Amino acid sequence: MKTNKSYSKRLKLTKNGKVLSRKPGFNHFNAKQSRTTQLSGKKGQSFLIKNKPKSHLLPFS
């Protein structure tokens, strides 16, 4: 099965096996947001991927 490369570039695997992604909606049009909102968008968001789609989305698992 092929890996979805466009999606896998947005993910990062931590040392303990957690999957992190950036929060959506923080690429542009950030000038109107407060500074705290802008900085909160830089933090990673952790989520769970089940085993079946994990092989499709992550090339390193």
pLDDT digits (tens, 9 = 90+) for 2-60: 777 887 788 887 888 778 888 888 888 889 999 998 888 888 777 777 666 666 666 66
- Domain count for the chain, please give it: 1
Domain containing residue 15? 5-57
For residues 54 and 1, is the Cβ–Cβ distance under 8 A? no
For residues 13 and 61, is the Cβ–Cβ distance under 8 A? yes
- State the CATH number of the domain containing residue 31: 4.10.410
The DSSP letter of residue 12 is E
Whether the full predicted model's pTM is greater than 0.95, yes or no, is: no
Give the contacts of 43 (CB within 8 A, at least 6 positions apart).
23
